[in-house]
Copies of this chain bind each other. A is one copy, B any other.
Amino acid sequence: MAYPAYAQRARDISPAPLVADLDGLIWFGSGDAYPEILPDLGDVALRAAREFRTETLQYAPRGGLPELREWIAGYLAADGIRLTPDSILIVNGAKHGIELACKLFLDPGDAIAVGRPTYQSALGIFRSWQIELIEVGGDDDGLDVAELETRLLERARTGRRAPKLIYEMPEFHNPTGVTLSEARRRALLDIAERHDLLILEDDPYRRIRFEGQPVPPLSSLDGGGRVVSLGTFSKLLAPGIRVGWVAAAPDIVGRMAALKADGGSCPFTQRMIIEYCRAGRFEPHIAAAAKAYASQRDVMAQAVAREIPGARFRLPSGGYYLWVRLPDGIDTDQLLTSAHTHGVDFLPASRFYATPGPRNYLRLAYSYAPPTELMDGVRRLGKALRQSPPRP
């Protein structure tokens, strides 16, 4: 039997488990929210179901509920992003926005530029579109834009296709935690303009800042309509709510809406968010969340320094993750197997590189586990590490 005859893009993709089997493990793998700060959405859920029943239980407008698009426009304006609501499309989380950008812009064989390392879920989506991934390194100031330009010029010289998009998480990068400096942001926009590229700016952690001053978003500095920006309530309110947005020029957003196969996203959860934000509960919640994650970061950072000799990491000023470098020779894919037997989960370096890269990094999420588990999990990790000596 020839069937199932999968499309080219699906032939190398393994079936995903429908439910991850992580029972009994301490979770440092996933960017779930800290359970204690999940908001009480009971009253807004009740209002969505009762007062707004004929709105929330019918099909929503394709672009999303207008009131939510207006609220988001106001939210973005506070960051200097001047967009009208017709530039805002509601989607099912920022990953859905990445998918729509791929569908709108990318043909098989096209190229996009990504950081090295970069967000593992974005990589998964990009891989499913059969495109070439051009990896660009970085340092403490974020993506190395000079390297990016060198790569672009080199490709032009050798007749290779220019990338259509640059995917970047400029604020509290996942996994590295680094924030792209303002000078680099301006340089990146300049490169995009000169080389005729679009920037896909993925900015979920912006408001989860523990210290220091925020840097203007790429979309606030964008004079040429080159930035397609992604936001989400996943990291602002709750991951499970599955409401995010794309902010871009109206003709881009309108075409994404046309390609959005589900029609309008769920109006029920959109209405819950509108009522929550309008009641003035958004800002206090964000402030409490940032405070909680700062404390979580400190607990985990101290535990890593104490329990894992030789571990090195930057202390991130925001976001959910520590990106930890272990001594050379450690293979974190192998370490993961051993860590599971010790009762702790994390994401190994290999998940974050488009092509094979260093193996001695791992991403530890401090977002989800309570402080006692942060300490216990890091201790278990240290134990797993001591029992997995580096390869010779």
CB proximity of A110 to chain B, nearest CB, Å: 8
Cβ B240 vs Cβ A10 within 8 A? no
Q: How far is A257 from B20 in the complex, measured between Cα atoms in Å?
A: 12
Selected interface stretch from A88-96, A201-209, A340-348: A88-96
Cβ A10 vs Cβ B242 within 8 A? no
Cβ A262 vs Cβ B240 within 8 A? no
Selected interface stretch from A36-44, A291-299, A305-313, A329-337: A36-44
Which residue of B has the minimal Cβ distance to A268?
A: B240
Residues of B close to A17: CB separation below 8 A:
62-63, 254, 257
- A121 an interface residue at 8 Å Cβ cutoff? yes
- A357 an interface residue at 8 Å Cβ cutoff? no
Cβ B125 vs Cβ A66 within 8 A? no
Which residue of B has the minimal Cβ distance to A85?
A: B18
Cβ B262 vs Cβ A241 within 8 A? no
Residues of B close to A265: CB separation below 8 A:
92, 242
- A144 an interface residue at 8 Å Cβ cutoff? no
Q: How far is A249 from B164 in the complex, measured between Cα atoms in Å?
A: 37
Selected interface stretch from A50-58, A151-159, A171-179, A213-221: A50-58
Could you say which of B14, B164, B240, B268 contacts A60, with CB atoms under 8 Å apart?
B240
- A277 an interface residue at 8 Å Cβ cutoff? no
Q: Mark A19-47, 1 if CB is under 8 A from B, else 0.
A: 11000000000101101001111101110
Residues of B close to A164: CB separation below 8 A:
5
Cβ B49 vs Cβ A33 within 8 A? no
Contacts A45-B49, A255-B6 hold; do A262 and B242 have CB atoms under 8 A apart?
A: yes
Residues of B close to A95: CB separation below 8 A:
261-263
**Which among A13, A45, A89 has the highest number of chain B CB atoms within 10 Å?**
A45
Which A243-277 residues have C-beta < 8 A from chain B? 249-255, 257-263, 265-269
Could you say which of B58, B121, B240 contacts A57, with CB atoms under 8 Å apart?
B240
- A99 an interface residue at 8 Å Cβ cutoff? yes
Cβ B54 vs Cβ A35 within 8 A? yes
- A183 an interface residue at 8 Å Cβ cutoff? no
CB proximity of A164 to chain B, nearest CB, Å: 6
Task: Give A contacts to B, CB under 8 Å.
Answer: 1-10, 13-20, 30, 32-33, 35, 38-42, 44-46, 48-50, 53-64, 66, 69, 86, 89, 92-93, 95-96, 98-99, 103-108, 110, 121, 124-125, 128, 164, 196-198, 226, 237-242, 249-255, 257-263, 265-269
Q: Considering the complex of A and B, which 8 residue pairs feature the smallest CB-CB distances, nearest first? A: A15-B254, A18-B63, A57-B238, A99-B261, A45-B45, A16-B258, A242-B266, A42-B49
Extra A-B contacts (6), CB below 8 Å, given A93-B262, A108-B108, A242-B266: A6-B104, A7-B103, A9-B103, A16-B258, A242-B268, A269-B269
